[in-house]
Structure 1
Amino acid sequence: MNLQYGSEWDEETGITDVLFQYGHDREDFISFDLKTMTLVAPKHYPTQRCITFLKKYLQNGKSTLQRIVSPPVSILQKTPSSSVVTCHATGFYPRGVMVMWTRGEQDIYEDVKYGETLPNHVGTFQMRSRLTVDPKEWDNNNT
């Protein structure tokens, strides 16, 4: 990467301009416009070169970006008399998995707590959901 900086002065108008410009591989990369206090990319970079790089990176990462891994699920209960049941889903990809509790054919929304989705060290995700059940329902086998 190279940096160019300097000043320009128009003798006729008396206007001065300061230049801060960065380049890479002998091409302009970005400059700083002191008048507007903004970074400016050359026209060809966002419309051509950036798109070329983006397509290349998407093609190289296609197998990772488009993979889908279903989660193995475990149901845990600390003791047989515990009123809390935990569902642990792990090893899934992509991140957006929804854990739903059902009773028969009906979805359960009350007494459900969702943990945050956390990353695993192998590039997959995990989450937990807890359902609190009235102990009377356990006794009546209505769950």
Structure 2
Amino acid sequence: MTFTLNGQILGRTHYATRAVLERELGRLGLTFVQALLLNALAAADAPLPRAEAARRLVEAVKVPTATAHATLAELIAATLAAPLSTDVSRVALTPTGRHTQQLVAAASAEIGARLWADLSAEDLAVAARVLEVVRRRAEQTLTAG
């Protein structure tokens, strides 16, 4: 069977793999965007300004800024993230948030290992290069207006 790489295949692959992850995230009481924001907070070297945390989510999944701020508010309400007591404009994961993010990372790694298991390193490298070029072009198109 021959496939032509196009937006439809990319989209269907994204939504199928995302649905598998979302099933696991649902068991943790999280949405996809909440999990991405947990990842962004976990990856930060220090507590992030709220605006920066929101910006990282906007960049990652192209949600409106208001949605990113609402997602951050959800994580704070769930006690997965909290403002610093010394500077409420900055947020960080709570111990519960860090533990939850580690569960998300483990679930994501297991899913990835299962879905990509029998693909050769060469095929994966080619796919990664092609997808990165397409992603960069799409990002340039978005910033060009």
Structure having greater relative contact order (Cα 8 Å, sep ≥ 6)? 2
Per residue, is there more helix in 1 or in 2?
2
- Higher-Rg structure is 1
TM-score by length of 2: 0.29
